[in-house]
Structure 1
Amino acid sequence: MMLAASAHAQSTYADADFARVPKLDAHVHANVDDQAFLAIAAKDGFELLSINVDYPDFPPLPLQAAIAEKKRAADPGRFHYATTFSMKGFGTPGWTERTNAAIDAALARGAVAVKVWKNIGMVERDPEGKRIFLDDPRFDGVMKHLEERHVPLIAHQGEPKNCWLPLDQMSTDNDRSYFREHPEYYMYLHPEEPSYESLMAARDRFVARHPHLSFVGAHMASLEWSVDALAKFLDRFPNATVDIAARITQVQAQSRDDYGKVRAFFLKYQDRLMYGTDLTQNPPDPNARAQNPPATGDFAKEADDAWRSDWHYLATDGSEHVGAIKADVKGLALPRTVIDKLYYRNARRVFRLGS
């Protein structure tokens, strides 16, 4: 018995290992021109991939880019960033060429990936007033350019499936608070808008259309509600990986109900998953709405608490209470080799940051 316990301890990490193990949070948003994010990342042993997004609650895109470039210059070994592009003028002559030129300029300044957001499919319309979905062939010129340059595309398409459910039927409190505060994105209130199924189908058609594109499905590719559904997605699309940003509570809800299945998923797809949180540092705003993860005003503590809580769940077999699902959840105790991939090696490979 003692030998078995010792072998288990050697094959898995402990809470005490957290800060010393190299890690990379592959989905954050660093939108403040200070050193707080870099400081807590250095203290906790993290590299960061900050993702620029054309999101109304964030600073304007040029300011996001300027902040990202400044942080990268300050600590290029720790700070990486993904650029994005504006949908302004989509479908008009020259849009593809202008967009490719803007992407090339961002790559020359250090960007390592390109992000597309849920506004494609849920908000944007073309000059004729038609809804724009990701599988629109008018994106082909940009996607071909990314393929040729071996640049990954990070895609946040759709929302958690909870977005299409009444508040009292949602599976996690963090989704409940986010969509209550963001009614424009709460699709249960907008039955005239595209369904969850139609958005996922458009996304899947897009990935099938571009088999040579390195595709990163943000937020578990919006299949957070079922590791079985996500497994089918990964099996179907060998060019796809996913990050788990802001969806850990949905994973925990599933492991509460079927621990073995969730742990087996992480073991089987250990080369296709990347750790991320969606931690967001925005300029202070007294009118800011609920975020997921929630903002408290003490960013360094928010980051440290989130990172340590996730480590406890993913790396150890300890139990913790998860308020968002009102349950105690046992940690997955993933092997060290799997943790190293999930937290570091996969992101370094996908975003071509070296071994």
Structure 2
Amino acid sequence: MQIWRSVLLVGTAALIGATAPERGYGEGDFTNVAKFDAHVHANVNDPRFLEVARRDGFQLLSINVDYPDFPPVPEQATIAEAMRKADPRLQFATTFSMQGFGTPGWTERTIRTIDAAVARGAVAVKVWKNIGMVEKDAQGKRVFIDDPRFDGVIAHLERRKIPLIVHQGEPKNCWLPLDQMTTENDRAYFSAHPEYYMYLHPEEPSYEALMAARDRFAARHPKLAFDGAHMASLEWSVDELARFLDRHPNTVVDLAARMSNLQAQSVGDRARVRNFFIRYQDRILYGTDLTDSPLDPAARAQNPPATNDFAREADRVWRNDWRYLATPLSQRVDAIKADAEGLDLPRGVIDKIYSKNARRFFARMT
């Protein structure tokens, strides 16, 4: 009888051990875990940013982008390359100009620009929302991301296994009246940037049209390493984002500047959001969109907002995001005027989202 009791206890313990959920991290683990912020903009050669990243355990990907509120692209590139030399924990992504798009020689010039940047250390290429929302060709026709005139450049990226970071469209809030938007940060940004606030421009392409162009592009280039920036502009629904990831197995997405949109969803259904992260743990990159730009008293609202103490702001954002993703603790989220309970993701999931996925994705080049 004693022998059988011992066998039963051992078997029960083994069963419990096999089914026990993986233990998560706590707030005290923050600085000890390797992390990678896969979406920042270092527009100032600021050693304080590198220092806070070192202290908090972060690698960084600084993304150059052809954005009118940023310094000119060559200046962004010079800053990124200098910071990369100062500390290899910062990597950078390049971009290209749409000037002359569709004219003879544009494809060849763009490929040379990309290859030169890669030779200087760029690990990816970024295309911005100006494609689809701003740019027109020589005939005055709007240019969308699935335009076949991009094919030569995309084929080159595929051959060299250079990842493409794709920012298409805007949050769905951009097409809603201000009083129907789901987050305060979107409300502030689009109030300050009426040129990008599509609710005021019904003559412009719809949200659905931009998402459809993005989907056609992803389907046409299944060998392309595709990073859908800002949750692929599907931040309003983890179910819609799951469908996108299922349709396009070559894609990953980053979380940059969309954490409050996730928190708005998890306040209503925490289990749904948590299950999404666990199911797609190999396809999600942590990112913030933290932007260190020269301060301008006349500058318009940014998302995330500009600050005169950027290093402190970076530390605050990173710690708040860690609290939400890695722990079960609640925090007040002003952007949604509510308390958001942490997702308490398992350690293995956190390790992938915060570091392993980005390291793998941005190390594909040959």
Question: Shorter-chain TM-score category?
Answer: over 0.9
Q: CA deviation at 1:296?
A: 2.6
Alignment of 1:1-355 (within 5 A): 11-76=23-88, 78-352=89-363
C-alpha change, 1:264 and 1:182, in structure 2 (3 Å) is same
Q: Deviations along 1:277-321, whole A, 9 cap, x unmatched?
A: 000000121111111111231101110100000000000000111
Q: Work out the CA distance in 1 between the residues paired with 2:165 and 2:21.
A: 36
Q: Which has the larger radius of gyration?
A: 2
Letter in 1 for 2:188: S
Shift of 1:350: 0.5
TM-score (norm 2): 0.93
CA deviation digits over 1:110-157, x for unaligned, max 9? 000000000000000000000000000000000000000000000000
**1:49 & 1:339 partners in 2: Cα distance?**
18
1:214/1:240 contact within 8 Å kept = yes
Contact kept? 2:266, 2:273, Cα under 8 Å: yes
1: CA distance, partners of 2:292 / 2:49: 8
| CA deviation map 1:259-281 (0-9, x unaligned) | 11110000000000000000000
The aligned length equals 349
Question: What stretches of structure 1 of length at least 5 have no aligned partner?
Answer: none
Matched-pair identity in %: 70
Task: Name the aligned partner's letter for residue 248 of structure 2.
Answer: F
Query: What amino acid maps onto 2:67 in structure 1?
Result: Y
Q: Label 1:326 to 1:130 Cα distance change in 2 as closer, same or farther (>3 A).
A: same
How far apart, in 1, do the equivalents of 2:36 and 2:46 lie? 20
Could you give the per-residue CA deviations for residues 192-238 of structure 1, whole angstroms, max 9, x where no partner exists?
00000000000000001101001000000000000000000000000
Give the SS at the match of 2:340.
Answer: strand
Q: Deviations over 1:82-125 (max 9, x none)?
A: 00000000000000000000000000000000000000000000
Q: Work out whether residues 295 and 302 of structure 1, in 8 Å CA contact, stay in contact via their aligned partners in 2.
A: no
Structure 1 runs (4+) deviating above 6 angstroms are 7-10
TM-score if structure 1 supplies the norm length? 0.96
Structure 1 SS opposite 2:263? helix
Question: What is the distance in 2 between the residues matched to 1:297 and 1:71?
Answer: 20
* 2:193 partner amino acid: H
Gaps of at least 5 residues in structure 2 are 1-12
Native 8 Å contact 2:171 2:236 kept in 1: yes
What is the letter of the counterpart of residue 349 of structure 1? R
Q: 1:9 to 1:43 in 2, by over 3 A?
A: farther
Once the two structures are TM-superposed, the CA of residue 353 in structure 1 deviates from its matched residue by 7.3
- Equivalence for 2:7: none
RMSD: 1.5
CA distance in 1, matches of 2:288, 2:318: 8
